[in-house]
Amino acid sequence: MAVGVKARPVAATRPRDEFRTVVGFVASLIPGLLVLITLTLLQQAMPAIKQFGLAFLTGTDWNPVTDSFGALPAIFGTVATSFLALAIALPVGVAVAVILAEPGKANIRGFIGTGIELLAAIPSVVYGIWALYVLAPWSYQHLEVPVSEHATFIGWLSDPAVRGLFNAALVLAVMILPTLTAISRDVIKAVPRGMKENAIALGATWWETTWRVILPSARAGIFGATILALGRALGETIAVTMVIGNAYVIPHSIFQPAYTLASVIANEFTEATGTLYPAALVELGLVLILVTLVVNIFALLLVRSTSREARLTA
């Protein structure tokens, strides 16, 4: 900094901003923590990483007695529940966002918006107990059994069970809905008004305006919201742990019990003894955090770039 003194005398006379140094330091704790968390997990997982290498990701065995660990069933369960949840939540979330972004009737829209945001405030463990005693038995009786009876010829829709992958996805869908809705609404609202007005002036109906003009121009932002919701779904622990059934296998049907990365850790970590077993569990956590980091950063950059674009074109 001091090198440029001659060229910019103003900078030399300006007092040093110590306040900036202090608050800047405190703020730097946040990225610092993120790095520290990742590195700590990496270090703790080292015994397992050294022992298994990349085979850990493709192994299907999970046996603490023989010290043989593989992450594939947990990875499969995590990915399957999250994508299934997205498939359920995406149409609903976008529909709510479209309705919330419409002008007029501010009271009703405010009420709906508050309701959706309260969905995000409900603790995950409350969703868990509700899903375990209310949602899962209901879905077993009214969704899983009829579907499996009518679709006996489709293998992955057979063998309904009260606790299983599908019910975990169902409760996840409810939990990621607020993320999906809030961001999609903001993105849809950021679509320049002129585009909508042009479409209406050309005689387009409400649906044609929404489907052919608004949603396409909000596409990138909605995609970002979807990815962000995916990140939330991947990392959700407690509610999923309570309903997924905790079976360390790749299930043959979406109704069957499975396991996710986060729930394996939640259930087994306090009981893990020795060196390899806890390290393998931490490695599951490492896989989880690396995936969510990549997913989140990608989604955030996407949402940010689209909202900046919208500001520039508005």
Partner 1 sequence: MNRNDRRRYSSRAWLGLMYALTVLALIPLGLVLWFTIAKGLPSVIHPQFFINVELPPCEPSCPPVLKAGVEHAIVGTAIMVGLASLMAVPAGILAGIYLAEYTVARWSGWVRLACDVLVGTPSIAIGLFVYAFLVVPFRHFSAYSGAVALAILMLPIVARTTEGAVALIPNGLRESGLALGLPRWRVSLQLILPAAAPGVITGALLSVARAGGETAPLLFTALGAHILELNPGNAMQALPLTVFRYALLPYKSLQAQAWGAALVLIVVVLGINLVSRWVLRRQIALAGQL
Contact 90, 180 (CB under 8 A): yes
Residue 185: C-alpha distances to residues 36, 98, 99, 105, 116 (Å): 34, 7, 9, 16, 12
Rounded Cα distance between 49 and 276, Å, is: 10
Nearer to partner 1, 250 or 266 (CB): 266
- CA 33 vs. chain centroid, Å, equals 20
Which residues, 177 to 236, sit near partner 1 by CB under 8 A?
Answer: 177, 181, 205-208, 210-211, 228, 231-232, 234-236
Q: Which is nearer to partner 1, 158 or 179 (CB)?
A: 179
The answer for residues whose C-beta is within 8 angstroms of residue 210's C-beta and 6 or more apart is: 98
CB of 153 to partner 1, least distance (A): 29
The interface region with partner 1, picked from 48-56, 123-131, 182-190, 305-313 by CB under 8 A, is 123-131
Q: Per CB under 8 A, does 93 bind partner 1?
A: yes
From the list 2-10, 59-67, 131-139, 153-161, the region that binds partner 1 by CB under 8 A is: 131-139
Q: Which residues, numbered 38-67, are part of the site for partner 1 (CB under 8 A)?
A: 40-41, 43-44
Could you give the CA distance from residue 137 to residue 162 in angstroms, rounded to a whole number? 6
Q: Is 153 in the site for partner 1 (CB under 8 A)?
A: no
Nearer to partner 1, 246 or 253 (CB): 246
Stretch binding partner 1 (CB under 8 A), from 49-57, 141-149, 217-225, 286-294: 286-294
**Residues of span 228-247 touching partner 1 by CB under 8 A:** 228, 231-232, 234-238, 242
Pairing of strands 62-63, 68-69: antiparallel
Cα(21)–Cα(194) distance, integer angstroms: 44
